[in-house]
Structure 1
Amino acid sequence: MYEFIVEEAQAGRKLSSLLGTTHGMSRKFIRRVIQENGISRNGQPVLLSAIVEEGDRIQVQFPVESSSVQPEKMPIQICYEDANVLVVNKPAGILTHPSAKEKTGSLLAGVAHYLAPAGLIPHSVHRLDKFTSGAILYAKHAHAHHLLDVAMRSNLVHRQYVALAYTPSDVPIGSWHTLEDYIAQDPNKPSRRIIGNSDNGQLAITHMQAIARMGDVCVYRFRLETGRTHQIRLQMASRGLPLVGDRDYTYDYSGLPGNRSTRYCEKMLPHQALHAYQLTWQAKNMTEPICVYAKPAEDLEEIWALIGAKATLHQLLEDNADTL
């Protein structure tokens, strides 16, 4: 149910205009609601052509939705929840949503099970690679999904990541750098990406900052302006800064000889050391953005400690939170 009171400045407008322009409801969504007689004014059915008055109470009953994903019971770590959205801290090794090869066991199925008692189904807003952990945002209904999709296209959804990467000693700690590349699909292996050009690739922009070092490994923070597949992993590896544990964009891919440190880390961490630690978004009618933190995964904390670090990744992110 979506409900609001018509304000003085909104009086005299058509209800259809108010729903679409002011409250951001898509035409497709409004048509579905109308088909189910789901809009009322002051408790009575109302036409979209009605002229609203100050103080009118408008109620929109969300249409019944069905999901193509079979709900599956699984533990999920919730970082944030309200009437419209849910943010989950995804562990590495689980798919964001089903694939042609893996139809069960996805996080989407787990979220569907969690929302089922309330009669809601999850809508995926964005994705993470299977072996990347961290915050994933789900909409609880079609209207919220539409608003978040608009926010994504309007650059009002911001994602920040933390990673461990092999790094030469001359890389400075604390300064920000911007990475810009065109990312294209690898013609020899469609599941991978390569650095391309403006003719065959999509522009990828990443802002990165090294915040700590232990030996030949640095902790990096990233803020994305774009969301291309494997963006951080490929951009870092192509510059000789491969992520610890990455099996696709490896030390060899970067043109660097493997050493005892890389072999040790890959044995201890069977996936890339990459975690989406923060999500910030502001959809239509939100007066302030919402910022949600997802604590770094335990396996990343463990490998960082095994390398010899004293401060945890969580502590490092807290200490550098005001330098973004």
Structure 2
Amino acid sequence: MEFKFVLPEDVNADNLKDLLEFEWLIPRKVRHFLRVRKNVQINDKQAMFHQLVKPGDVISLLFESEDYETPTINLGQENQIDVLWEDEHLIIVNKPFGKKTHPNQPDESDTLLNDLATYLKPKNQLPYVVHRLDKETSGAILFAKNPIVLPILGRMLEKKEIHRVYEAQINGSLPKDTMVINKKIGRDRHDRRKRVVDEKSGKTAITHITTQKKDGHLTWVECWLETGRTHQIRVHLASIGKPILGDPLYHSKPTNASRLMLHAKELSLVHPFTKESLTVKATPFLSE
């Protein structure tokens, strides 16, 4: 597995060692193998770890098969994959509603991860889960295509550098057209599938909500998250008496919705290697 990276103008490292350790989060064991095997080059010349790096340098890394564990993923259905954006490191796809993000059991093969593994097989690549969407939720979801970029994306997610915007449909109107719900969320002790507002022992959860469109008694709202708790938007909207239409867990009354009316409409981030600003939209939107 060989990769070449052209360092961007705002590279945040002075030397090769810092670049590999702090910027790209390559594990210590793998860095050791790169060094002793002499599997690192700068501008096509053998590199030393103390060597200075600068914008425009081409960094070449050669990884052996034992450097990273290769996951086993059952193959699924390639025709289920709707690619929104892709390069050699990242792929963003439009997840259909009703499909799980990843398997929970080793023998499963009908999840988005299985389908994506089938799509990537001809390219000799594998998908790695960065974040997830609920089975009932559709829209933009990001996967890593190699284990090199995976920990970097995980750090970006923790630092809130991957921005996700959702839209949902509710009955009636919000109390205010623009509002912030700041209520802690914890597990429901009576139903392991569910989450509840739990100000005593729950985890901090902050959701920003804006009215997007109204049509009679229906309202479409746009949501973005400061935190990423399980079922966060669903729980927060239900907590103010505005559960999402079609929600099988948090809407107590039957609705005419054929599905959970929640869609991850937009995903944006700065590419960890190229520093390109990416904003990817998952159309069609529910409001269209």
Provide the TM-score with structure 2 as the length reference: 0.85
Q: Output one character per residue of 1:231-264: Cα deviation in whole Å (capped at 9) or x when no partner.
A: 01111011110111111001x3xxxxx4xxx54x
| Residue 131 (1) aligns with residue 119 (2) | no
* Alignment partners' CA distance in 2, 1:235 and 1:80: 30
Structure 1 pair 17–176 and aligned structure 2 pair: CA distance change class (3 A): same
Alpha-carbon shift at residue 118 of structure 1 (Å): 1.8
Give the match for residue 167 of structure 1.
Answer: 172
Cα distance 1:288–1:43, how it changes in 2: closer, same or farther (>3 A)? closer
Separation of aligned partners in 2, 1:221 and 1:8: 34
Distance change (3 Å), C-alpha of 1:63 and 1:213: farther
1:188 has 2:193 as partner: no
Deviations 1:61-82 (A, max 9, x none): 2444522212223321001111
Does the Cα contact within 8 Å between 2:7 and 2:273 map onto a contact in 1?
Answer: no
Matched, 1:70 2:74: yes
Determine the structure 1 residue equivalent to 2:150.
Answer: 145
* Change over 3 Å in CA distance of 1:108–1:6 after alignment to 2: closer
Q: What SS class does the counterpart of residue 166 from structure 2 fall into?
A: strand
1:33-86 residue CA offsets vs partner (Å, 9 max, x unmatched): 45765323454554535x347786531124445222122233210011112100
Task: Choose the corresponding residue for 1:100, options 88, 105, 108.
Answer: 105
Q: Name the SS for the 2:74 alignment partner.
A: coil
Segment drifting more, 33-42 vs 277-286 = 33-42
Which among 60, 82, 87 is matched to residue 82 of structure 1? Answer: 87
Q: Aligned residue for 2:213?
A: 212
Mark the runs of 5 or more structure 2 residues left unpaired by the alignment. none
**Is residue 36–residue 63 contact of structure 1 (8 Å, CA) maintained in 2?**
no
User: Structure 2: how far apart are the matches of 1:219 and 1:212?
Assistant: 5
Say if 1:134 and 1:296, in contact at 8 Å, map to a contact too.
no
The verdict on how the C-alpha distance between 1:52 and 1:238 changes in structure 2, with shifts beyond 3 A counting, is closer
Q: CA deviation at 1:156?
A: 0.7
Q: Which amino acid aligns with 1:106?
A: T
Separation (CA, whole Å) in 2 of partners of 1:204 and 1:287:
29
Which shows bigger deviation, 114-123 or 201-210? 114-123
Aligned residue pairs: how many? 279
Residues 189-244 of structure 1: CA deviation (Å, up to 9, x unaligned): 112101101x4111111111112222322111111111100001111011110111
| Deviation of 1:284 (Å) | 4.0
Matching residue within 267, 274, 294 for 2:282: 294
Match 2:267 to one of 268, 279, 286: 279
SS of 2:204's partner is strand
Change in Cα spacing, 1:164 to 1:3, as seen in structure 2 (3 Å) is same
1:7 & 1:163 partners in 2: Cα distance?
37
Q: TM-score, normalised by structure 1?
A: 0.76
The answer for the alignment partner of 1:25 in structure 2 is: 25
Distance in 1 between the 2:10 and 2:193 partners? Answer: 52
Instruction: Check 1:85–1:48 CA distance in 2 against 1; reply closer, same or farther (3 A cut).
Output: same
Deviation track 1:149-186 (CA, whole Å, cap 9, x = no partner) reads 11111111010001111125x745xx321011110001
Going by fraction, where is helix more abundant, 1 or 2? Answer: 1
Report the CA distance shift for 1:160/1:127 in structure 2 as closer, same or farther (over 3 A): same
Q: Structure 1 residues 38, 171: CA separation in 2 closer, same or farther (over 3 Å shift)?
A: same
**Residue aligned with 2:149, SS:** helix
Counterpart for residue 320 of structure 1: none
Q: Whose Rg is larger?
A: 1
Does the aligned pair in 1 maintain the 2:75–2:109 contact within 8 Å?
A: no
Gaps of 5+ in 1: 253-257, 301-312, 315-324
1:2 maps onto 2:3 in alignment? yes
The CA RMSD measured in Å over matched residues stands at 2.9
2:20 counterpart SS class: helix
Percent of residue pairs bearing the same amino acid type: 29
Q: Which amino acid aligns with 2:284?
A: P
Query: Secondary structure in 1 aligned to 2:113?
Result: helix
Shift of 1:95: 0.6
What pairs up with 1:44-55 in 2 under 5 angstroms?
A: 45-49=46-50, 51-52=51-52
- CA distance in 2 between counterparts of 1:72 and 1:8 reads 40
